[in-house]
């Protein structure tokens, strides 16, 4: 097994120490930092996304893999930064007003960061006004609105309307998600995208920002 394969397998296993050490070894062997990222770490986290989306693994496994990925990225970050900017776009993500659920949104943040998107985590119970301030302050390309309850889904619609009224709707693409949310709901409220899970959210975001 090649060293890059060993790195991806360590990420999949959620082996934080193993990932860090194998990435260090790859650096010592003068493997290109971008190759370590794209052909090692990213391969692992993408596989985790596929397995999570298929229901084969659960949240704790994803969190450990994301932690391992993060440790590996930290090792090569100075090398990547010397090669040029490591992020491909920016997003702000939050759970909408009235909804205190956090774990699904945190997974989205982790998965988006793992595909090199700079994510500002707005937290939970976020109002339309706070999202609008976030857009003005951070100038993201994407806003992610999470709602885990049927009672808070309507807040996603309210926030999109508030964006229109504030004159910021055309500046961003709005991605929505959450347990009760569907593509039909996204169409109804004029959201730009719907993601059934964290991996889908990260893939949608990456495809959009790399198309700009």
What is the tens place of the pLDDT at every residue in 194-208?
Answer: 998 887 898 899 999
**pLDDT per position as a tens digit, 160-189:** 999 999 999 999 999 999 989 999 999 999
At 83, is the pLDDT very low, low, confident or very high (cuts 50, 70, 90)? low
Q: Using DSSP, state whether 179 is helix, strand or coil.
A: coil
Per-residue pLDDT tens digits for 95-150? 999 999 887 888 888 888 877 899 999 999 999 999 999 999 999 999 999 998 99
Proportion of the chain in helix, strand, coil states, percent, rounded to 5: 60, 15, 25
Nearest to 68 by CA among 40, 103, 91, 29: 40
Average pLDDT over residues 85-90: 81
Vertex 200 angle, CA 196 and 203, to 5°:
160
Domains of the chain: 3-83 (1.10.1240.10), 89-211 (3.40.50.280)
Q: Which two tokens stand for residue 169?
A: 């709707």
Q: Residue 158 and residue 139: Cα distance in Å, rounded?
A: 21
Residue 81: what pLDDT? 66
Any alpha helices (H) in the chain, and if so which ranges?
A: 3-12, 16-28, 33-36, 42-53, 59-83, 103-114, 128-138, 153-166, 183-188, 198-211
Compute the distance between CA of residue 72 and CA of residue 37 in angstroms, rounded to an integer.
Answer: 8
Tokens of 203: 């893939």
In this prediction, residue 85 has a pLDDT band, given cuts at 50, 70 and 90, of low
Query: How many angstroms separate the CA atoms of 14 and 60, rounded?
Result: 10
pLDDT in tens, 44-66: 988 988 898 788 998 899 889 98
DSSP assignment letter at 56: S
- What are the C-alpha distances in Å from 148 to residues 7, 100, 122, 126, 157? 34, 9, 16, 13, 14
Output the six-digit token pair for 135.
């857009």
CB atoms within 10 A of CB 196: 14
Among 98, 107, 92, residue whose Cα is nearest residue 145: 92
Query: Average pLDDT of 12-30?
Result: 97
Helical pair 42-53 and 198-211, crossing angle rounded to 10 deg: 130
């Amino acid at each position: 097994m090649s060293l890059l394969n060993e790195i991806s397998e360590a990420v999949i296993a959620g082996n934080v120490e193993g990932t860090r050490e194998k990435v260090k070894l790859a650096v010592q062997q003068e493997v290109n930092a971008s190759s370590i990222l794209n052909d090692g770490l990213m391969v692992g986290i993408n596989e985790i996304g596929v397995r999570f989306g298929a229901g084969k693994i659960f949240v704790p496994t994803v969190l450990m893999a994301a932690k391992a990925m993060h440790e590996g990225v930290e090792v090569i970050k100075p090398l990547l930064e010397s090669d040029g900017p490591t992020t491909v776009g920016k997003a702000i993500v939050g759970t909408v007003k009235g909804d205190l659920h956090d774990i699904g949104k945190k997974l989205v943040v982790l998965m988006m960061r793992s595909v090199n998107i700079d994510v500002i985590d707005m937290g939970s119970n976020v109002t339309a006004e706070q999202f609008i301030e976030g857009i003005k302050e951070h100038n993201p390309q994407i806003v992610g609105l999470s709602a885990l309850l049927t009672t808070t889904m309507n807040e996603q619609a309210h926030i999109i309307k508030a964006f229109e009224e504030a004159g910021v709707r055309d500046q961003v693409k709005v991605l929505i998600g959450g347990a009760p949310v569907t593509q039909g709901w996204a169409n109804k409220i004029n959201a730009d995208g719907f993601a059934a899970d964290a991996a889908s959210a990260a893939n949608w975001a990456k495809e959009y920002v790399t198309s700009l």
